[in-house]
Amino acid sequence: MYRNKHNVWLGGGMNQFHNILFVSNGLTDETESLKQVLSLARNNNATLNVLIVCLEFSDLMTVYKDKFEASLKTQLQQSIQSARDALNLSETDLPINIQVESGSIPAIRIIRQVLKHSYDLIVKNAAQKDDGIGFTAIDMELLRKCPCPVWLCRPIERHRDNIHVAVAIDPISDEKAGHDLSIRLLEISRSLADNCDNKLNIISCWDHELEGFLKNNMWIDIPDNALSKSVEDVRDKHYIALEELIKKSNISGNIQVHHVRGEPQRMIPQFVDDLKIDILVMGTVARTGIDGFICGNTAENILQKLKCSLLALKPNGFVSPVTV
């Protein structure tokens, strides 16, 4: 085990991941993220491969392509060695294969590697935006279309013992896929929290969508007490479903449930900021037809307001629109 104030130590509890791909641009020092992924791979006896993705050279620059790709590999190998030294981890303990792939549409190239080699986790630095909020196009494509979980890392200044973890859950689902995803989110976030500050924050948003319409509708004229009772029923049904889901997940330990009224796309980013959450675990999906968890435009609106690291999962049965 190692300690570093800029890193999350990912322990053996997250042992659902056994074939991991670290994605690099090869241009920046990624030692801190590499410490995370090396630690995760070591503690789970997982294989680890690295893919450097870069832009395609024009015909006039082809003569320099091999030298450029070699320089990317060299720089990344230096970062890997720095991470190995920090973890006291030798090449024999965890061999790493580095591949360079150049061309257009890098997100699609990454996903094709996932499909070809059956990776079960992608770890990648979140591409830097000027304001530090949300995610860039390549990361959003991975979140929409990659079939395996995606870990997008941002720098964390606190020591790992003080790192705050949260998971976003919607417990109302008639679909087994939605229910199963929520269980996985709770299990993985619990394991992650166990290796951080040991506290798991669970946020779940609820609302009575018709309250405003019914309250101000002169044609329906619902008594205030009847409307209030309807709102309470929605709240209680949602909270009971959330409690049952947490119970079914069999997680325990230090858990703080935040049952928040309001739209997820507004309340979740605000919650993350207010509680200074470092890592958010949530479900994303890029297709319709599965209810019961954050999906579609709601997820995208949340993602574009986040400042923290993100671990995003898809439901079982999700089929990527990308083909090999």
The contacts of residue 226 (CB under 8 Å, 6+ apart) are: none
Helix, strand, coil shares of the chain as percentages rounded to 5?
40, 20, 40
Q: What is the DSSP string of 169-180?
A: -----SSHHHHH
Alpha-carbon gap, residue 67 to 70, rounded angstroms:
5
pLDDT of residue 46: 93
Distance from the first to the final alpha carbon of the chain:
37
Alpha-carbon gap, residue 85 to 79, rounded angstroms:
10
pLDDT of residue 4: 37
The contacts of residue 191 (CB under 8 Å, 6+ apart) are: 11, 13, 14
Alpha-carbon gap, residue 124 to 132, rounded angstroms:
16
Domain boundaries, the chain: 19-313
Kindly report the length of the chain.
324
Structure tokens at 85: 């030294």
pTM recorded for the entire structure: 0.87
pLDDT, averaged per 10 consecutive residues of the chain (324 residues), comes to 39 72 88 87 91 76 78 91 91 92 90 96 88 89 93 85 93 84 94 91 84 56 70 90 96 96 93 96 65 60 93 90 88
Structure tokens at 154: 């941002």
CATH number of 19-313: 3.40.50.12370
Strand order in the sheet with 121-125: 96-102, 47-54, 19-24, 121-125, 150-153, 309-313, 279-283, 165-168, 199-206, 254-261
